[in-house]
Structures are given as C-alpha cells and as structure tokens.
Structure 1
Amino acid sequence: MTSLRTIPVGAVVGCEIFQFFEHTGIYIGKGQIVELAGSGLVRSLSFQRFLANRSGAELIFATTPAGEIIGSEIAANRAIEQIYSYQQYDLLRNNCHRFTYACISGDSLPLTSFFDLKEALARYWRFTPNWLYTRRT
C-alpha cells in the first residue's frame, strides 16, 4: 500500500472500471484527486470517493523507470484551477484521460483510452513510465 506521504502532488492517478476501462485524474495533495466526471464537472474528491462504484480497491500511479511516482506542481495547479468548472464531456473526445494529460502537459489532445494516455505521457516525458498498482484501505 502506498502512503499518502509518498505521493507527490501532480501525480497521475488511475483506477479500473469493471476491468474493461480505466479512469484517471490528478492528485493535488491532502488525500484529494481532481477528476473530470462523466457529467462534465471537474471536481475534487477523496481516494475512497474516486474508487467508489468502480471495480476495485487498486489505484494506479505513473512512475519513473526507477519506480518513483511522478509528480508535478504545475499539473496540480492546473487541476486545482479547474475545480467546479464544467466541460462538454464526451466519452471519446473529451474524457478523463484528455483532462489528465492537459493538466500534465498544458496541451489538449484527443485521447480516447488509457492506452492513448500512456503513449502521450511517454512522448511528453521522453521515457516510458511504469504503472504501479497499489491497494488503498
């Protein structure tokens, strides 16, 4: 299990949705994740709420090849600035992965899937991140 103290702000956080899809957001500290919800609302919520009504108790974090969770204060600030705003949510064109990548990079790319997000992050960071799966209790 990963301690909150070891998760840097601006970390990419994900979880599985019924083992077929993934959902992502940005960790902003103090146990809070900012996500783009299916309603289009950008909101901050706890790890427990982030995992609620989804398939499991595992969180997914992007890490360096050395295994350190990647964080960015700039990404956290971009996410925080959007809390309580609305976007025109679209499952394929404007989803949580596009939101997450925009917080990291400042660019808005049409990312359809978690796979697309992983490829975009690898290009942006110029290395292929590993993905740490960890249980939260």
Structure 2
Amino acid sequence: MKKVLEFFWENKDNFIATTLPESGVEKIKKFQRQERVKKGLNPNKPKKEITGIKMVDGFINSTIKDLVKPKVGSIVHCGLLMNQIEHSGIYIGHNKIVHLDGSGRIEIVSPKKFLDRLDGMNLATNIYVSCRNGKAVASKAAAERAKLKIGKIVNYSVYSNNCHMFVSGCLTGHFENKDNFFSSLEETVEKEIDMNEWRVWDLF
C-alpha cells in the first residue's frame, strides 16, 4: 500500500492535471493565486490537499509526508463529516488542546477527545498541525489567550460563534471576528504565524 501511495505522491501533478481540462485547471489556479495576493497572502494555498479526494489525501499525509509534534500555541484541526468540514483548536502543551466544544464550553481535551466529535461518529483519524516548511509553527500568545478562556461557556452557533472564531480570537486577540469558516481561519493563521502547510500530528 505504501509503495502505491508513494507512486501516487510522485505523480500527483499528472493526476491532478487529468481531472480538468488543462485550460480550466490553469484558469482556476490563476484566479485563486490572484485572490490570495489581493489579501496579502502567499499566492500558493497551504499544502494539505494533494488530489482533492479527502480520504486519499488523508492516507498520503499520514504515510508519505513526515509527521510532526506541535509546539505550544500551534493551531490544530481535524476533519468532520467524512472530512467535509473541520474542527479547530489551540495546542497548549502536555498533549492537551483547548477548543470550543459544540456545547459552548471552552475546555481542555486530549487528542483522542478532540477527534471524538459528533457523538463518537467522527471517522477522522488525523489531527493536522500548523507548519512552515515541515516544522511546527506556533503563537505562545494564542496559547495564553486560550488558557484564560478555559471553563467559560459561550453562546455557541455553527455560523456566528464557532470553534474557528474562537481559535482566530486566540491568535489575534479579537474574539468578535468573521472567521466562521475554516478557510477564513486558515488565512488568519497564515498571516499571524507565517504558516504555509499542514502536517499530521505524530501522536505516537
């Protein structure tokens, strides 16, 4: 299986190019790069998606690429609903994550509990860590802000007060923000801690 994935990884550019007509691929990439530059971001999106097929990407990220250990203040996230949406939090050291739970409680959890979303029905096995060029990056200020919020209960809303907004607030100090989607949070992480890729947490 690993040899198959290694072959796929080495030929990923050819695989992606065959999924859309060449002109379509280039137009989409050009538009995405232009939009990111307008926002003051690096033209290239942080690396995690390789094929765009969530299950395949998860296997590749956990078997081909080097795994990492987070630093205090690293941003972490995992997939939900067959990896179609994300859940995020802040690593505070000693194998603990602070996150905003769907109940509205800001709490400290283990990696296992962080993955245990949707009443135990979440199938994700990987937790991703904010990285730059293969090494974890972090914000100690974000970790400190997260610690100060532990035990508080907020009026949780999937759309207007969720885990991504909490993480963004820990990064910037502004908890009333518009990062209610993971893609928006991802851009904030890039700006605040110079992240350029996500890598799988080495939990062992």
Scaled to the shorter chain, the TM-score interval is 0.7 to 0.9
The CA deviation at 1:55 is 2.1
Superposed structure 1 runs of 4+ greater than 4 Å apart? none
In the alignment, is the contact (CA less than 8 A) between 1:61 and 1:133 conserved in 2?
Answer: yes
Separation in structure 1 between the aligned mates of residue 97 and residue 70 of structure 2, nearest angstrom: 11
Aligned-pair CA distance for 1:27: 0.4
Higher RCO (CA < 8 A, seq sep 6+): 1
Q: CA deviation at 1:124?
A: 3.3
User: What is the Cα deviation at residue 136 of structure 1?
Assistant: 3.6
Which amino acid in the other structure matches residue 24 of structure 1? S
| Aligned-partner Cα distance in 1 for 2:129–2:186 | 11
TM-score (norm 1): 0.87
2:8 counterpart residue number: none
Aligned-residue offset at 1:116: 1.2
Q: Which of 115, 122, 147 lines up with 1:80 in the alignment? A: 147
Segments of 5+ residues of structure 2 without an aligned counterpart are 1-61
The question of whether the paired residues in 2 share the 8 Å contact of 1:58 and 1:135 is answered with: no
Deviations 1:68-96 (A, max 9, x none): 11112211111111110011111111100
Distance in 2 (CA, whole Å) between partners of 1:119 and 1:74 is 18
Q: Is 1:25 aligned with 2:92?
A: no
SS of 2:200 mapped into structure 1:
strand
Equivalent in 72, 75, 78 of residue 9 of structure 1: 72
Distance in 2 separating the partners of 1:34 and 1:21: 19
- The answer for the alignment partner of 2:16 in structure 1 is none
CA-CA distance at 1:134 after TM superposition: 4.1
Give the Cα–Cα distance (whole angstroms) in 2 for the partners of residues 83 and 92 of structure 1: 22
* 2:178 pairs with one of 103, 110, 118: 110
Between structures 1 and 2, the one with greater strand share: 1
| Identity rate, percent | 29
Q: By percentage of residues, which structure has more helix?
A: 2
1:50 to partner: Cα distance: 0.6
3-state SS in 2 of match to 1:7: coil
The change in CA–CA distance for 1:68 and 1:128 in structure 2 (over 3 A counts) is closer
**Residues 1-137 of structure 1 aligned to structure 2 (within 5 Å):** 2=67, 6-18=69-81, 19-52=83-116, 53=120, 54-64=122-132, 66-108=133-175, 109-125=177-193, 127=194, 129-134=196-201, 136=203
Structure (1 or 2) with the larger CA radius of gyration: 2
